[in-house]
Chains A and B, each alone.
Chain A
């Protein structure tokens, strides 16, 4: 389950942010707060956004900014940030996003488990909607403590 890869202080709900850069910066700050990455990693995520664009909007509404492991990842983990208003990162296919998953991946074996857990948690569309309805970080964390049924 995904809850093992995050912490209460790496979660923030309904942030009143207005630009994609702010959202990436906030997701990065939360990764630092959770002890998953250094502040340099936030900068690397912003650079990747500039260089590679918004491919990290992985599904409608869901953005998963990340950078290379060597850019400042300390421990495998994610931050979770929901926004008051969806922001347009520039991904024409998937549209604006209001669920931001900051991803810190070490590139080691355990990192595969992390990606699997993220994929499992958000494959079911209702998990996204449920998460967006949370009004506290605690609600988000407890939601991630239950595995989503495999709908495949």
Chain B
């Protein structure tokens, strides 16, 4: 399972999202690699799941990944719900 988090600069928001996603996946016992990137260098087709905000979701290049839209970065409970639902789809 490969997960990508995407934001504008690639050093703040997407890194925070990556940390939260790693925690959630670890807790769920899922073997996953989580990377973060800025929107201009993101390669969503290399990943199974992409987590980003509404605006960047529209800017992503065409891809086959499951895109999770998550705008309240601090809402870890919400992210957990969306991420686990996406995992269920992958299986």
B-binding residues in A (CB < 8 A) = 48, 51-53, 55-56, 58-60, 62, 64, 66-69, 91-94, 103, 105, 107, 111-112, 115-116, 118-119, 122-123, 125, 152
Contact = CB atoms under 8 A, between A and B. Distances in A.
A53 B71 CA distance: 13
Given A103-B12, A115-B16, 14 more contacts: A52-B39, A52-B55, A52-B56, A59-B73, A60-B72, A64-B13, A66-B9, A66-B11, A66-B12, A68-B9, A111-B11, A118-B16, A125-B74, A152-B76
B19 to A, nearest CB: 6
A96 B23 CA distance: 29
Interface residues of B, number: 23
Contact of B19 (A119, A122, A125): A119
B7 interface: yes
Contact of B12 (A56, A59, A94): A56
